[in-house]
A and B are shown apart, each in its own frame.
Chain A
Amino acid sequence: MLYAALLYTPELDWDSPEAAERGKLYQEFAIENAALIRGGEALEAASTATVVRVQGARGGDVVVSDGPYAETKEVLTGFFLLECADLDEAVKAAAQIPAAWHGAVEVRPVHPVPRPQL
């Protein structure tokens, strides 16, 4: 099964020395779990987020606003896609992601959607 591991942590300045340390931890995780990892990225600060909505229905007015919605201590700072046999395996892997002790990791199964043939 494919799982998304969504990383929620306090915001981190990617240019700080702390972030460099953090990066090493993530590399370790990625090497040790290479067999499971199907993808993943880190995200820029939540203050760079832009929220896009189309009002009413398709074709409606495009409303662009600054995100995020609320000041929260932990924000979405990255994600991994993990291929695991079951939830127990996914939880085991998620517990090794540094975000799990810097914040929290939300594990969710990926819903398979049909993709257009390219």
Chain B
Amino acid sequence: MGRPAPSAAAVPLAETVRTEGARILATLVRTVGDLGLAEDAVQEAVVAALRDWPRSGVPESPRAWLTVAARRKALDTLRREGLRGRKEREAVELLEPGVPEPGEDVVQDDQLRLIFTCCHPALAAEARVALALRTLCGLSTEEVAAALLTGEAAMAKRLTRTRQKIRQAGIPYRVPGAEELPARLAAVCGVVHALYTSGHTRLSGDRLTDVDLCAEAVRLARLLHRLLPDDPQPMAVLALLLLTEARRPARLDARGEVVLLPDQDRALWDRSAIAEGLGLLSRSLELTDGQADPYQLQAAIAAQHVLAPSATATDWAELVRLYDLLLSVQPGNAAAALGRAVALAEASGPAAGLGALDALPAAARDHRWHAVRAELLARQGDFGAARAAMRAALDVPLPAPERAHRLRRLAAWAAE
């Protein structure tokens, strides 16, 4: 046991343990062939590290320490359960102390396998998100439950059922072949994007949880991009997340109130995230030769906003064009349809925006639709209709800052 290395000291202990734990898990799953057993072993090792290291100091190689500890736990479990099959006996040999840690290549393959298993389309969408947080981001069951706004017991049950399905349905632990890869990769990107979206729509000011889903999604997108560095899709997903995340510090003011895009302090935007996002987007577009997928288009839309010096100097006509492209590949994307109406209102006036809103089907008319409509009606000076629309937009459960914002708008229009 050594002193904390200077570089290690810069990273909080819990973060090191968590990152290394998630990394070790992937290899352990392959070795023991059972997700639940591997998860428990790593979890115990992580708990032991968090208990011991503050007293004994961070070991020289936290990774090696955790690997040995997790292997020992897994070995205990296998022996306790009485090694029934050949597979278990083989696993034990690989768990014996003295077996060297796998090389970086092997670990990366293992991580990729685990990603494809956890994001398998045969698992329910919510189950994929929960499992990804648990195994790929290395959160505890309690943290996953908090992040997804469920109780710990319910989450534990859901995770158990999911692991059971993986085992019993024979969901493989491997990277799909070239033929299946595009569809399966799209499913993985879908999980990352869903994770980000649910964090983003919840708003950071609504402090229901300590777990930051947006940050978890970015972490996962980074991992996926690192594992498939030449694939344009994970590249575009990471670009999209970074370009959206970069603007997050300006979305709420010091009092936790919503700040609309025109009023946001652009100095608060994270310039390094923007630069990284723009770089990834342009490389991704080069690789697909201009044939843009939905993530690239959404990233391009985010890029238009970050490139504009102000809301008024934004190229709204270009945004309308990008939304049209996005809707041509995703006709059912309600958020894109709303975004298009907003851009159209900016480019051609509120009447054009309202026309676009009214053209949307009833299924797309959710509380956001009403809120956007209210803003455009107010801009036209029709405050009575704007108030009615905003009341409709308040008729659902909303995150506190968003509700407060809408109520303030309503109050402002009442005075008109």
By a beta-carbon cutoff of 8 Å, the part of chain A in contact with chain B is: 1, 3, 84-88, 90-92, 107-109
Residues of chain A with a CB closer than 8 A to B210's CB: none
A22: shortest Cβ distance to chain B, in Å? 27
Beyond A86-B170, A88-B176, 7 additional pairs, beta carbon < 8 A: A1-B170, A84-B170, A85-B170, A87-B169, A107-B169, A108-B169, A109-B168
Residues of chain B with a CB closer than 8 A to A90's CB: 170
B384 at the interface (CB under 8 A from A): no
Complex CA distance for A2 and B176, rounded to whole angstroms: 21
B169 touches A88 (CB 8 A): no
A21: shortest Cβ distance to chain B, in Å? 28
B154 at the interface (CB under 8 A from A): no
Complex CA distance for A92 and B122, rounded to whole angstroms: 13
Complex CA distance for A87 and B176, rounded to whole angstroms: 12
Interface residues on B, range: under 10
Cβ-closest chain A residue relative to B172: A86
Per DSSP, chain B at the interface is loop
B168 touches A88 (CB 8 A): no
Cβ-closest chain A residue relative to B177: A88
By a beta-carbon cutoff of 8 Å, the part of chain B in contact with chain A is: 120, 122, 168-172, 176, 180
A85 touches B169 (CB 8 A): no
Complex CA distance for A85 and B122, rounded to whole angstroms: 16
A109 touches B122 (CB 8 A): no
Per DSSP, chain A at the interface is mixed
A-B CB proximity, top 8 nearest:
A86-B172, A86-B170, A87-B170, A1-B170, A87-B171, A87-B169, A88-B172, A109-B169
Residues of chain A with a CB closer than 8 A to B172's CB: 85-88
Residues of chain B with a CB closer than 8 A to A87's CB: 120, 122, 169-172
**B171 partner, pick from A3, A86, A108, beta carbons under 8 A:** A86
Residues of chain B with a CB closer than 8 A to A91's CB: 122
Complex CA distance for A67 and B172, rounded to whole angstroms: 38
- 19 CB contacts below 8 A, A to B, read A1-B170, A3-B170, A85-B170, A85-B172, A86-B170, A86-B171, A87-B120, A87-B170, A87-B171, A88-B171, A88-B172, A88-B180, A90-B170, A91-B122, A92-B180, A107-B169, A108-B169, A109-B168, A109-B169
Complex CA distance for A3 and B169, rounded to whole angstroms: 9
B179: shortest Cβ distance to chain A, in Å? 9
Complex CA distance for A107 and B169, rounded to whole angstroms: 9
Complex CA distance for A84 and B170, rounded to whole angstroms: 9
Most B-side CB within 10 Å, residue of A3, A85, A87, A90 = A87
Residues of chain A with a CB closer than 8 A to B180's CB: 88, 92
Most A-side CB within 10 Å, residue of B168, B169, B170, B176 = B170
Cβ-closest chain A residue relative to B121: A91
A86: shortest Cβ distance to chain B, in Å? 4
Complex CA distance for A87 and B180, rounded to whole angstroms: 13
B50: shortest Cβ distance to chain A, in Å? 36
B95: shortest Cβ distance to chain A, in Å? 24
Cβ-closest chain A residue relative to B166: A87
B165: shortest Cβ distance to chain A, in Å? 9
Residues of chain B with a CB closer than 8 A to A3's CB: 170
Complex CA distance for A88 and B176, rounded to whole angstroms: 8
Residues of chain A with a CB closer than 8 A to B120's CB: 87
Residues of chain A with a CB closer than 8 A to B122's CB: 87, 91
Complex CA distance for A91 and B172, rounded to whole angstroms: 12
Cβ-closest chain B residue relative to A108: B169
A36: shortest Cβ distance to chain B, in Å? 13
Cβ-closest chain B residue relative to A84: B170
B104: shortest Cβ distance to chain A, in Å? 26
B194: shortest Cβ distance to chain A, in Å? 22
Complex CA distance for A84 and B180, rounded to whole angstroms: 17
Cβ-closest chain A residue relative to B173: A86
Residues of chain B with a CB closer than 8 A to A86's CB: 170-172
Complex CA distance for A43 and B235, rounded to whole angstroms: 49
Cβ-closest chain A residue relative to B168: A109
A82: shortest Cβ distance to chain B, in Å? 11
Residues of chain A with a CB closer than 8 A to B176's CB: 88
Complex CA distance for A85 and B170, rounded to whole angstroms: 8
A90: shortest Cβ distance to chain B, in Å? 7
A115: shortest Cβ distance to chain B, in Å? 20
Complex CA distance for A107 and B168, rounded to whole angstroms: 12
Residues of chain B with a CB closer than 8 A to A92's CB: 180
Cβ-closest chain B residue relative to A1: B170
Complex CA distance for A3 and B122, rounded to whole angstroms: 14
